[in-house]
Structure 1
Amino acid sequence: MMGTPAQSVVSDDIENLRHHAYRIRRNALLMGEVQGQGYVGQALGIADVLAVAYCRQLNMRADDPEWEGRDRFLLSIGHYAIALYAALIEAGVISADEIDNYGSDDSMLPMSGMAAYTPGMEITGGSLGHGLGIGVGMALGLKRKNSGSRIYNLLSDGELNEGSTWEAVASAAHWKLDNLIAIVDVNDQQADDRSSTVLNYEPVADKWQAFGWETWRVDGNDLTALVEAFDQAVNSTSDKPRVLICDTLMGRGVPFLESRDKTHFIRVDENEWSLALQQLDEVYGISAEEQS
């Protein structure tokens, strides 16, 4: 049966997670401002998911990102690197001093994610459709080592166009990889058009369920719903792999970017970066004094 988050109030510090999500969004905007570009629309949209993952859910050590007992978070969508860097900074894996080096020569924060450069970046993503297959291999390897660690794999709705993704989905169910949690960012945008127009993925939850996965579909910008879904996925006693399908809004938290005509790459003009930061602070009720 397809899972749905419980309606009960989660006894978690949602306000604390809200602050982490704010900081992740702010980190991403500051990095984007350095180069005058970046996939900040996706970063703003996925920030709440990353806040729950990195500031509540993942078993990890910020001072030892290669600790053998860690949970692995795989970024299949390499162009979301700015979002993951923002989360790794908030989690203390990367120093905030690196923000000013984003996208620069020899920086540990290249514009597309590469594992060799960045602490906490588990794989080099970007060739879309490969991440979940890598995740299946890692999850199977951990099983054979009798490890209690989990694999989390963030992929995009556009990656559901790739046949290799569905091969990985089928393989994970076959091997009963209950230590694998996929997270699908459904923002309905990809390079050529809306994802649903290029190749309609609905009914996406039913498809994952039919492939043998425990499935939750949630508002990916609702922290309470995300906490409940993550908890249910982690605490399930099923032997199935799990997937969280997260509907997100590109540009979330910055009203003029939320309402801007959406494309795969949201243009932010030079004079708009300061406005974006100002609006983010206003949405979260953060004063200028608190930022100083």
Structure 2
Amino acid sequence: MSAASQDPSEKTSSLFQFPDADFTIRSSDKILFHVHKTLICLASRVFRDMISLNHLSSSSSSPHPIVDISEKGDLTDAMLRYIYPLPRPVFNSLDPMVLLLEAGDKYDIANIAAAIEDLLLVTPIAESDSVRAYAISKKFQLSRLEPVVECMLLKEPYALLQDEETPDEIGQITADDYRKLDFYRKERVRRAHELFNHNRVKDRAMCECRKKEIVCNIPQLHQIMAEERRVCQSWGLFARICSKELLKCPTLDINAHHLRQRAVDESSCKDSKTVLFDDLKVIIACLSLDIQELPWRFPEAYAEVPDTESFQERELPRMG
């Protein structure tokens, strides 16, 4: 085509100008993409329908049928890179990814969502804006990304409520999503609390502070009470302190010195410091690792909970 016949308002893509092209896509800013009809139709049901319904134009700049789209040239270029075996865009934030996801959804190009989901799973982009990433995973049904981002949110309690800049997609997060995350967070703390009742603690010799508490003249009942209340009173305090702090900071390391010191300060047992800092030192370190290995999500448990149940006052098991 001679330069004289070129419409000055139109430009041809430097990349998508295949010699054997038989179809042209024209962006809203008049960029022409000379592509292959068969390949485009295979990749997009929407483009296939537009062609079959003859929603086409013509131009002095293109010898092929043209379909006009509302997307600009840079977004069209990015979209076509997911159809052709060409280098894909590089992303540093969620903004351009959302635009591309919307275009992929609009034109029914399934591999765009799959590819972007793959990228979000292996880069820190989602973690840098976990609330928006969660909303995006809901909006575009990114089923592999959603549970990963849920774990991110669970490590930042109330992140959904504290986000300073509300993302445009926030409406995708439902009341049930808030309720589910609250359940997961509290269920994990409940299971962490249960670990404090481990036999490694129960099998230890009874602390003097507990012997004084047991007043019973029936030998059999005395034995039962002794077995249930064997460990030092400070251990129960320590368990409660850790559970409350885990609600505030789910990634808390319970092996931290200050947590044991708080239990010692609140305990009436004169041996509490020796018990928590010496006798149970190894057990607490092991317990810390056990808590870190707990899962963050409990979908099966959540599915069994009635819709009317509140998780605001979930009971923690007693420590003797």
| TM-score band w.r.t. shorter chain | under 0.3
Q: Give the structure, 1 or 2, with the largest relative contact order (CA under 8 Å, sep 6 or more).
A: 1
**TM-score when normalising by structure 2:** 0.22
**TM-score when normalising by structure 1:** 0.23
Quick check: which one's helix share is greater? 2
